[in-house]
Amino acid sequence: MESVSNPERRYVISFGCPDRTGIIARISGFLAEHGGWIVEAAYHTDPDTGWFFTRQVVRADSLPFDAAGLRTRFADVAKSLSAESNWQVSDTGERRRAVILVSKAGHCLYDLLGRVASGELDIDVAAVIGNHASLGDITRAHGIPFHHVPFPAGDAAAKASAFAEVRELVDEHDPHAVVLARFMQVLPPELCEAWAGRALNIHHSFLPSFVGARPYHQAHARGVKLIGATCHYVTADLDAGPIVDQDVIRVDHGDSVEDMVRKGRDIEKVTLARGLRWHLEGRVLVHGNRTVVF
């Protein structure tokens, strides 16, 4: 196993474990033993669960081994801290891959493609998959493959077959993130499980107050003063997965439904992009149905 000479490359260690004394000393001692140069460190203890969380960023060129070697050696540390299944080591030198799922609404897709094209979001979008064909042209204009997978209404067998096709297309790329950019189909439990901790969704923040169709119309009728968006991990519990990010914007009596929809879309775009970035940077640690975001 060879060391890495790029001074900008980082290894990110993140995990959660039962809280106790000596955890930080154990981690820093292990890294110091191998010459690890820590450039960022974050810690959090949850008093409600008695759980400890950390994210450590180390210069890759300060260690005498690569990311695989770090994982092998850190496994003993994780075991000693009872964090066997709650830790990971990621390498910033490894390109992150995402697959985006869409329907008809394009605002989140346009925003993500623009951020990727400008280099603001430094990832590879391996493919975009839509249950409608309307966003194919903009996707292909960015040099990204678009796959149209129709979902026939009222046909359970055809819908299951469509999800099987989507799963095959996604898994072909083994993405670090599966982004539901206003994808208006409910993932079946088996896909929620297969993509657990990787599938990110965005929706309006009215839930549970305004469920069902036309939430902005319902909110307008009630005279709400704040609207927003929630980025969360997808689970079998609809729109109830661990929350990665949320944001809001004020509205008032002078805003029409169309104004609220426009402002809501702006918040959705920013919140989804921010949540995706944090996920790909290894800043989100999930514990039960809650998250710690460093």
Q: Report, as residue numbers or ranges, the catalytic residues.
A: 239
Residues 133/148, Cβ–Cβ less than 8 Å: yes
In angstroms, the CA 20 to CA 250 distance is 43
In angstroms, the CA 98 to CA 231 distance is 16
In angstroms, the CA 19 to CA 47 distance is 9
Q: What angle do CA 127, 97, 58 make, to 5 degrees?
A: 170
Exposure of 214 in the CB half-sphere (CA atoms within 13 A): 7
Residues 204/268, Cβ–Cβ less than 8 Å: yes
CA 129 remoteness from chain centre = 17
Residue 38 neighbours by CB under 8 Å, 6+ apart: 28, 31, 56, 57, 58
Closest CA to 264 of 254, 251, 277: 251
